[in-house]
Amino acid sequence: MSESALDRVARALDLIPFIRQNPGLSVVQIAQRFNTTPTQISKDLSLLHMCGLPGYSHLELLDIDYEDPNYISVTEAQVLDQPRSLTQMEALTLMLGLNLLAELSSASEEREVIFGLQQKLKTIYGESLSRSISTTEAIIESPLASEILSAITQGQFLTLTYNSATSDAITVREVYPISIQYLHGVGYLKALSVAQGEDRTFRLDRIVSIDKGRIEPNFSTNFNLSDFNNSDETVEIQMGHDGLFFTERHSAIVTSFQEFDGGLRISLSVSAGEWIIRTLISWPTKIMIIRPIELNQRIQERISGILGNYQ
């Protein structure tokens, strides 16, 4: 990917104070931190080697040691020894990240550290950060998230009591937690199921309780983990204008949608038969199932059955 013209100047100015504080890194390591290639970093370093203060004698030039690509250091940074200030977007990114961490932390001392940092950023970066950004309920909170997070950090097994929406059943299973991911505000725990020896995904807000078990760091390195989403069926539906809200709500499984006959025709990629049946039945307006036909039949039978309960 080609970088914008000024990105290189920005990176060059940031390289000097970074290397000065982190001497001895290799070109490859530096490239990783700056999201670029080792070749580009080498080019940047040889260019910076020619830069300096007016006079441009060896006393005024930047002095960078880069002959050994495995050990880069800056001996003379001139006026570039301190990092540049954060841009508004960088400060905002940190601010939002801190807000989310605060929402996820349970210990009051953790919240205090986070609050102190937020105050620092607000003081430096002005009122926009404090008055124009809100992250109240940025994510759907789960009271167990911080405990699960600490289990992940320690490499601790958990026994989950889980309420599955799809099967409408409460089950207990032993898992090894790997990560927490938030998708569209909903938190998911990715974990290895000990019984199945495979990774499974659990919605945080459906975990009823946890019991902590033995600690075994790096247990998961013995397993190959599959992708987060594992979808294998295409479902095509047609609905009215509220289809827009359906696509918003279920954006993770919507593969395409288009205006059709005064409404929307939507393609979905889903794996669970029972989940999609419940989802389509519980949507408050009529949904036509174009394919698969068998799914349409099952849903129609189910609706008739429910109506039968009311007669």
Partner 1 sequence: MSDQKTERLINLTMALLATKRFMSKAEIFNQVAGYSGTTETKERMFERDKDDLRTLGISIEVGTHDPLFDDELGYRILENGYELEIGDLSPTQISYLSLAATIWRNQLFSSTGSHALVKIDALNGTGFREDFGQATLSLENETPLFPALWEAITNSYRISFTYRSSSTTRRQMLPYGLSLWHGSWYLVGYDLDKEEIRVFKVSRIISEITVESKAHSFSLPTEFTIEDHLVMLAPEPRINYVARARVGRCQSLRMNAQISNIDAEWDRISFTLGSDWLEQILWFGYDLVLESPLEKVEEITSVLREKL
Residues 144-203 touching partner 1, rule: CB under 8 A, are 149-150, 152-155, 163, 165, 168-170, 179-186
**Selected binder of partner 1 within 40, 69, 101, 290 (CB under 8 A):** 101
Q: Amino acid identity, residue 69?
A: P
Q: Which of residues 253-282 bind partner 1 (CB under 8 A)?
A: 278, 281-282
Question: Nearest Cα to 166, choosing from 76, 53, 281?
Answer: 281
Q: Which of residues 204-233 bind partner 1 (CB under 8 A)?
A: 206, 208
Q: Binding of partner 1 at residue 93 (CB under 8 A)?
A: yes
As a whole number of angstroms, the distance between CA 178 and CA 189 comes to 7
User: What's the min distance (Å) between Cβ of 176 and partner 1?
Assistant: 12
As a whole number of angstroms, the distance between CA 149 and CA 165 comes to 23
Q: Binding of partner 1 at residue 6 (CB under 8 A)?
A: yes
Stretch touching partner 1 by CB under 8 A, among 64-72, 87-95, 194-202, 229-237: 87-95
User: What's the min distance (Å) between Cβ of 22 and partner 1?
Assistant: 5
Contact partners, residue 111, CB within 8 Å, separation at least 6: 102, 105
Two tokens at 275? Answer: 């989940």
CB contact at 8 A, 243 and 251: no
Question: Nearest Cα to 285, choosing from 250, 257, 245?
Answer: 245
**Selected binder of partner 1 within 1, 50, 195, 293 (CB under 8 A):** 50
Question: Nearest Cα to 20, choosing from 76, 84, 86, 71?
Answer: 76
**Selected binder of partner 1 within 104, 204, 207, 276 (CB under 8 A):** 104
The structure tokens 């309420």 sit at 163
**Selected binder of partner 1 within 41, 45, 48, 268 (CB under 8 A):** 48
Stretch touching partner 1 by CB under 8 A, among 65-73, 92-100, 195-203, 264-272: 92-100
Two tokens at 159? Answer: 């026994």
Question: Nearest Cα to 20, choosing from 43, 47, 48?
Answer: 48
Q: Binding of partner 1 at residue 290 (CB under 8 A)?
A: no
C-alpha angle 116/16/5, rounded to 5°?
A: 100
Residues paired with 199 in a beta bridge:
192
Stretch touching partner 1 by CB under 8 A, among 109-117, 195-203, 229-237, 260-268: 109-117
Q: Which of residues 14-33 bind partner 1 (CB under 8 A)?
A: 14, 17-18, 20-22, 33
Question: Nearest Cα to 239, choosing from 229, 250, 230?
Answer: 250
Instruction: Give the residue with the Cβ less far from partner 1, 136 or 258.
Output: 136
Two tokens at 153? Answer: 């950090």
Stretch touching partner 1 by CB under 8 A, among 63-71, 111-119, 192-200, 264-272: 111-119
As a whole number of angstroms, the distance between CA 94 and CA 122 comes to 11
**Selected binder of partner 1 within 69, 117, 122, 296 (CB under 8 A):** 117
Instruction: Give the residue with the Cβ less far from partner 1, 281 or 290.
Output: 281
Stretch touching partner 1 by CB under 8 A, among 65-73, 82-90, 229-237, 262-270: 82-90
- Buried b vs exposed e over 48-62: b needs ≥16 C-beta within 10 Å? beebbeeeeeeeebb
Q: Binding of partner 1 at residue 293 (CB under 8 A)?
A: no
> How many residues sit close enough to partner 1 to count as binding (CB under 8 A)?
109
